[in-house]
Structures are given as C-alpha cells and as structure tokens.
Chains A and B, each alone.
Chain A
Amino acid sequence: MELRQPSSLADVDGGLPLAGGTEVVPLLRDGLVEAETLVDIRAVVPKGVSGTTIGAGTLLAELEADPEIPSALREACRLAASPQLRSMGTIGGNLLQATRCWYWRLKYPCFLHGGSTCHARQGEHREHAIFGNEQCASAHPSDPAAALLAVGATVRTDRRELPIGELYRLPTEDDRNVTALEPGELILELEVPRPEASHYLKAMDRARWAFPLVGVAAARFGDGVRLALAGVAPIPWALDSADALEQATPLPGTAYKVELARPLIRRALDAIA
C-alpha cells in the first residue's frame, strides 16, 4: 500500500481518501475496503468555520465547542463517539461513515454487500431500522448528519453542490451505495443555514459514548419546523411531521425504537418552540 499526501486539490488523482482515518483504518484492517493507494486529504480539504460555511476537514471536537453553529449540530457533535475520536474525526468523514451492522462488518454476503438477502431482517436486529428497511435494514450511525438534514445544509463537493438529503440514497438492486457521491468525488464544504432555534437529542445504550439508537434533530425557521432522525434508516431520515413517525415499518426487534422516538420528538419540538 502507498500513501500520497497531495498539497493541492489538483494533485489528487484517485485512491482512497483518508481524513482522520477513524473509519478508514479499521475498515482496511478488516478487509472491508481495499486500496492500493491512500490519499491523505487533510491538506486539500478546507477546515474551520467561517460564517455559515464549515470545511469538511473540520474536526468534530472543534464543532462541539463552536458557539456560532446551530445548536443541534453542536450537540450532535458533542454526543458523537468519544473525545479521542472527536479529536481525530472530521465532519466530512463522519457523513460518509459505513454502517455498523455487524453482519456487514463480519462480511456476511448480505444485500448491502451485493448479495440477495438481509441477514439482519431475519436475525439479530435490535439496533436496526424502522424506516426504509425493506432491502437493507441498517441504521445510519451519524448524529451530525441528522442535525445537518434538519437545518437544511448543502454539501459542496469538488464537482457540484447538493442538498444534504440528496447526498444519501437508499441502496437498490442496481446500486448498493448509500451515498450519491461519484468515485473520487470529495466533499469540500458544508453550507449550514442558521435556524431560529434547533435541538438534538439522542437515545443510546450507555449514558455516553455510543451510537444512536435513535437521534432526533429539530430546527425551526420562522413558522416552519424540520425534523430528521439518526439511527432509524439506512440513511439519515427526514420526517415531514411528528405524525409521520406512525408510518414507520419496524421489524419485530426494532418496534421499541418507535416508542423511543415519540417522546424524543416531542421534547425536541418543545425545546425549539
């Protein structure tokens, strides 16, 4: 394996992007991704917060302490992972983290790996999805992604701009990816509108430092309120209203997540009222 450390965007030429490496390094070691070339993108991807623009290379540890960004995003970063991981991991890498589904991590030939069945649907799936779970029932693990979805962030890549909702897609028969990024496409910046109020709440198995069983982000712009959930679908999930929770399609082992989400949604809405 080779490591390239380009100093400008123009010098990036293929290879697997490596930012904080908190996700890439374990995936490489477990053989879940393969690469001949690693590209350390830290010198080419913008970092830091400037007005409403957040560099994709900004560390979660910086965002959790930034008073200017929407509180839902700040709180989602503060509640994500552990202090060490937040000092290493970037927001760009966080948005692109792979599923924590243990069948996938253990290399079961499941739907997401290109196979034909979802082992979790028939097997152990307590941590899995209650929406969009027909073919792959994995639960998207990113807290910040839900917060960014609720505040209506836009993603700027080296090729285009797209609303964060369009960064993600449910895996289909023809394309098992959960993001719409093209091979080699880099996320450079996030444009993050300032809501009048926003809030993030997270239910987890331990009081601290665990992936979200359910995360709820709520943001208010004028009279309009937007809700987005983490940990409930293979991708971050926008809810049109609190009532939309009733359209969930839980599995036997995930029905409890609907009951967990209901009071969190109510509390998040109260907090931004």
Chain B
Amino acid sequence: MVNGGLHEVDVPVGTTLADALRDVLGLTGTKIACGEGHCGACTVQLDGVPVLSCITLVHTVGEREVTTIEGLREHPLVQAFVEADATQCGFCTPGQIVSAAALLAATPRPGHDEIVHAMSGNLCRCGTYPKIERAIEAVAAENRGG
C-alpha cells in the first residue's frame, strides 16, 4: 500500500523501496542523497513510523502501508514549512516533513527536546534546523487549539 493505494511492483530482489517509489511508481518526492542511511533525505513512513527507503528492500515491505511526501500534501506542516521559511535548497525537506508528521501524530505537542530527538536523523546541509523547529512548533500550537 502506498499513500492509500495498493500497488504491486515487479522488480528484482535487491531493489530498494526508494528506487521502486521513484522509478516504478513515479513518486519522485522521495529524495535519495547518500543512499546509505546517513542523511534521512529518503525518509518515508512504514505503518506510520519513519524509516529510510534507500536501505529498505522493497520485497520486505509486504502489506505494510507506505506514506511518502506525496501522501502528506494536505498536511498542515507543508504550509507551516513555507511560512517559517524552513527550506533553502529543499532537498532534505520531504524527509523532514515525513519525520515531523510522524512525530506530531505520536506526540501532538512535542517539547524542544522531543523535537530535536525525533528529527535528529534528518540532516540539512543548508542548516535550516531552527526554522524547521519553528514550523513544527507552529503546527503543534494549532494542535493546542491556537
């Protein structure tokens, strides 16, 4: 399942989830930077939990639900990132939003330490971390009802 739709992909064993999403399903919002588990650019959710699609073999995904950035188009974080000016080159942004959405789903009002801990696997070469935190806090504040 990807973003609510069922897909069957026919690719050789060894193909990663990231490659299957991008090259087979055309979901190119998921980015690949390091390809080795270091940077978090390729983060997607598997049953709601952020994982690295560049080192996940697509054949091990099975029936689990994959959520990519394309599945989070309507998420308030997207607007919050824009308003907080939390992207520069934008390459890390999809992964950041996927991780942040999972954090907010689990913890609607995360504190500073929780945000830093949950977001620490998403690196940003452009150094937008403070703005990303502000964007997450803005959505958390809405969760608080204002």
Residues of A within 8 A of B (CB): 1-3, 18, 21-22, 25-26, 28-29, 38, 40, 42, 61, 81-85, 87-88, 208-209
Contacts and interface: CB of A to CB of B under 8 A. Distances in A.
A25 B16 contact: yes
Contact of A28 (B14, B37, B51): B14
Interface secondary structure of A, over-half rule: mixed
Given A21-B55, A40-B60, A84 B16 contact: no
Interface of B: 12-14, 16, 35-37, 40, 43, 49-52, 55-57, 59-60, 99, 116-121
Contacts of A88: 51-52, 55-56
B60 A85 contact: no
B50 A29 contact: no
Counting chain B CB atoms within 10 Å of each CB, the highest count among A2, A18, A28, A88 belongs to A88
Given A3-B13, A209-B121, A83 B57 contact: no
Nearest to A37: B13
A88 B60 CA distance: 12
B120 to A, nearest CB: 4
B55 A22 contact: yes
For B16, B36, B37, the residue with the greatest tally of chain A CB atoms inside 10 Å of its CB is B37
B35 A38 contact: no
A88 B120 CA distance: 15
A42 B46 CA distance: 16
B57 A18 contact: yes
